[in-house]
Structure 1
Amino acid sequence: MNGQMELVSARTVKGPDPVPDLAAVDRLVISNSGGKDSIAAMDEAVNLADEAGVRDRIVVLHIDLGRTPGGQSVEWPGTADLARRQAAYYGLPFEVRRLGKWPSLFHRIRARGQFPHLMTRFCTSEKRAAAHRFITEQVNALGVSGRPARIVHVMGFRAQESRARARRPALEVDHRASSGRRTVTQWYPVLRWSEAEVWQRIRDRGLPYHWAYDAGMSRLSCSLCVLASVPDLTCAAGLRPELAREYADLEEEMGVPFRRELSMAEVIRRAGDGA
């Protein structure tokens, strides 16, 4: 029986989606960006881990995207501290890791000479690589012998966010992270949830969430994400003008716009106009 079959049970969450057999897992790594979907996914995963009696096998991971040369955090201010508080809410161990050779995602963009976009999401690749390195650390610490270590990696993906995510199964083997020493299974506990269901869970459980949502943002992610909606970008530029100015200076330096159809200079103009 392969590693994937060992972790899949007939139990379901939110319709037909399978969940891992958590009693068979050696380590449950919950990636927490600090966003609403991450905390809802963590709550769901912890609830099911408690039913399986394996909360002690959970560790929460936050990938810090660093600071710009001007000292601005690429993420929303307070995100790492919030992720730490969210882990503490459940009494879970919390770890922070950063990008490999780059001080921040901003530095990575400058070195590449272009911003990420839908077809070249190297920002996501950098975060994935940091998570894979952390999983390697966990496998080494576990010291499982005679079989691959069984790792489940929890992420707060939701199908409503994109067509690509809508096509994903709720449970899948991460072949890039797996090896002869480990089988890594990606689990998306809130994949089929609506945004309303996510917020209902947050309200019902009194879960801590980021202030940026109350300030008008619909998603958290990076403060200025190339894949964000125009209203979110405009809102973010108004809330974080210093960071927006650094991105505008960077696009002028590199000679390429923030997005092909939308420059950061235009985003700043719209934020100033209240558009």
Structure 2
Amino acid sequence: MTNLVPARVAYATGPRDERAAATEVAAARRTRDVPDLATFDVILVNSSGGKDSQAMLDVVAVAASAARVLHRVVVQHNDLRRVEWPGTRDLARRQAEHYGLRFEVRRRSGPDLLEDIRQRGKFPDAARRWCTSDHKRGPGRTLITALVHELRLDRPARVLQCFGFRAEESPGRAGRAELSYDQGASTQTTRHVWTWLPIHSWTVDEVWARIHATGVPYHPAYDLGMSRLSCSFCVLASKRDLLTACRARPDLAYEYAAVEAEIGHSFRKDLRMAQLIEEAGM
């Protein structure tokens, strides 16, 4: 396991009220440790373009700059095509460019998620999240392979992959370690991969305080009332978010409903897409 050193956190200057400033200080204290970034050959930041990814990216960029390894940071976005919110990929790119970072896009070959659901005849659920493994984790590992190949080292590359997962989001994420070795992504001969969750202990208020302090734009879906920016219609989303998404993206909602009717499988065990459309007043 890599050595840990105290975090060094800096904030962009700019107007903010006292409450936001106090929240930033609390968030800085909660970023207790960062890995010794100088010991990694590649620092891969996974960006969905959402608020948690955005705050996490700022923490990583500040820490990497302090360690003089900002050039080793690569920002990756997994393109989910029509099921993700419009403009997400371009926003993730602009967020990376704000820090002068390399930006890479990966997507699963073959059908997009909604077509994949239709072909499988079922929606994913909390116990069977093949949407994550096939459309996010799989493409992400192909990028790790490519980046390690570029280095042409005579030893296994040390890779640090960073995610914006927070304990507050779910019991499953609460149980994750802030720094861990990823056996599944590692190999004996080419790469040793660690996972770092820089904002694991942060609250949502701390996340937004960090975003507002940087002045970097965030996705407008949040101003519509969305609390998360995963797939537009994530099976794990709250009902409130799903209703908001129905009103914002009615055409896609009807596509989901058509697939639901065709395969005879509910969007969620306790909730049908047709029901959401009706409740959304569409």
Match of 2:66 in 1: 51
Distance in 2 separating the partners of 1:247 and 1:78: 20
Distance in 2 separating the partners of 1:103 and 1:142: 32
2:58 alignment partner, SS class? helix
AA of the residue aligned to 1:40? A
2:280 alignment partner, SS class? helix
The C-alpha deviation readout for 1:132-187, integer Å capped at 9, x for no partner, is 11100111111111x31000001110111000100011111111100011111111
Distance in 1 separating the partners of 2:182 and 2:273: 35
1:1-275 → structure 2 map (5 Å cutoff): 5=1, 7-11=2-6, 14-15=29-30, 18-66=33-81, 73-100=82-109, 102-126=110-134, 127-145=136-154, 147-180=155-188, 181-272=190-281
Alpha carbons of structure 1 residues 230 and 63: separation in structure 2 relative to 1, 3 Å: same
Gaps of 5+ in 1: 67-72
> What is the CA-CA distance between 1:192 and the residue it aligns to?
0.4
AA of the residue aligned to 2:174? A
TM-score, length-scaled by structure 2 = 0.89
Match of 2:20 in 1: none
The runs of 4+ residues in structure 1 deviating greater than 2 Å are: 10-19
Contact 2:31–2:199 (CA under 8 A) maintained in structure 1: no
Contact 2:45–2:76 (CA under 8 A) maintained in structure 1: yes
Contact 1:113–1:254 (CA under 8 A) maintained in structure 2: yes
1:252 alignment partner, SS class? helix
Contact 1:18–1:171 (CA under 8 A) maintained in structure 2: no
Distance in 2 separating the partners of 1:92 and 1:47: 12
Distance in 1 separating the partners of 2:5 and 2:96: 28
> What is the CA-CA distance between 1:17 and the residue it aligns to?
5.1
AA of the residue aligned to 2:42? R
The root-mean-square deviation of aligned C-alpha atoms, in Å, is 1.3
Gaps of 5+ in 2: 8-27
Aligned length: 260
Match of 1:70 in 2: none
Contact 2:46–2:76 (CA under 8 A) maintained in structure 1: yes
1:272 alignment partner, SS class? coil
AA of the residue aligned to 1:246? E
